[in-house]
Every structure is written in C-alpha cells, then in structure tokens.
Amino acid sequence: MADSLRRYAGPVVGAILILLAGVAMLVGWQRYDRDYVVAVEDDGSAVTKIIAERIAGDASLRVSQLNGTIQSTAQDVRAFGLLKSDQVVKMPFSVDYFLDMRGIDAGDLEWNGQTRTLIVNAPDVTPGKPNVDESRRTLVRTNGLFVTRQAGEELSRRVSAHAQARAESAARSPERMAQARDYGRAALARVMAAPLGAMGYADARVIVTFPPERAARSKDRWDVTTPINEVLANKRQAR
C-alpha cells in the first residue's frame, strides 16, 4: 500500500504543479490583456470601451467633499540636458471624506441617562482618493525647444502624479480635516437620532468624538456613562 502511494505521489504532485503554473499563466495573461492589449474594431482602429470593471459594497458614510482647482507643473530633461521642457496645467479636483460605519460597535456607544446624552466614540474621518478631472483642464502650457513624444507623455504623467499628491496633501491638512470632522459629527448625529427617536428619546443629545479629540481629553470625563447595549437591554425589560 505504501509503495503504491509513493508511486502515485510523484505524478499527483507534478499534476498539481502544472495546474498551478497554468492558473498563474492565465492570471498573468488576463492582467496583460487588461493593461496593455489595445481593443480594436474590425477595421483595426482602436475603440473606447470598458476593459474591466468590478462593483463592491461599502459601509462608509460620505460626510463632506473638498472641491477646487489645482495647478500642477512638471519638467523633463533629455539628450544630456540639451532638450529641456516643462508643462503647466490647471484643472478641477475633488476629494470626498468618509466615515467608516463598520468601525462603530456597541462598545463605542455610551449613554448618560441623567442628561439624556448619547456619546459616540467614532473612528476618524478619512479622505478618499483625489479625483483630478483632467478632461476639464482650463490651461495647458508646454514649453520647450523640441518636445519629443516620449517627453510629452512623461510630462503628462508627472503633471497628473503631482496633482494627485498635492490634492491629497491639501485634503489631509489639519484645517481641512477639522472641517471634515465637523461635517462628520453632524452627519453621524443625524444617523443616530433616528433610533433614539424610535426608543422614545427624540430630545436626546448626540455627542460625537473622534480619536484626536479623545486623545487630548481625560478619559475620566466620560466615565459617568453607560454602555448603550445595557440601555437597550433595560429598555426591553421595562416593556
């Protein structure tokens, strides 16, 4: 029996390795086809089409949006410094701010029955990926004695990357983050007001705190509260 197992072990392992190699090659080809192969019409002309798409669920609450216009610049040097070029582009951008509702559980909700106040210790508001709308550029200025096609492509790539980085930096500035937290505080308070009203606490006050605020305060200040799960349990027992 043992000899039979050893006799078949080699071919089985080899078949598994071949299968894994085939899967890896298939995944690699799919990625190559998605990123580098040009889709064409029957006459050979390139066509605009969606190559790949995916939809996913999200439990994040959008609480605010930063909008503006950004100016981005880039330089390119080639031919040992003989060919120098630069580009300046102006275009609109936006950044959404989100609050992940999945980061809030019963342990983050505290109830003060005396003051009828619900304290929500929420996760911090986070900015999403900047959306730089290059299709609505209001200015494109390229300078250079001779700008090659490769230099033009590199300038465009660098301008886009610089704009993304600058927009992200602006969105994460202390001033903008403080404003986003204020909007997040108001949005989350509205969300929490609905179940409170259903429980008979329509006049209750909702206080939303974020990690930077909680770190700056003494934890003892909130020790007079009761976990919300105990409040709900007592409410059900009273009925």
pLDDT in tens, 125-137: 999 999 999 999 9
Q: How far apart are CA 42 and CA 75, in angstroms?
A: 39
Cβ–Cβ contacts within 10 Å for residue 154, how many?
18
End-to-end CA distance of the chain: 69
Taking alpha carbons only, the member of 64, 65, 84 closest to residue 74 is: 84
Q: Determine phi and psi for 192, rounding to 5 degrees.
A: -75, -20
More confident residue, 117 or 43: 117
How large is the average pLDDT for residues 47-74?
Answer: 81
Please report which helix (H) or strand (E) contains residue 68, including its range.
Answer: strand 60-78
The model's pTM is 0.74
Q: For residue 36, is it left (φ>0), alpha (ψ between -120 and 50) or beta?
A: alpha
Using the 8-state DSSP alphabet, how is residue 46 labeled?
B
> Does residue 90 contact residue 195 with C-beta atoms inside 8 Å?
no
pLDDT digits (tens, 9 = 90+) for 146-166: 999 999 999 999 999 999 999
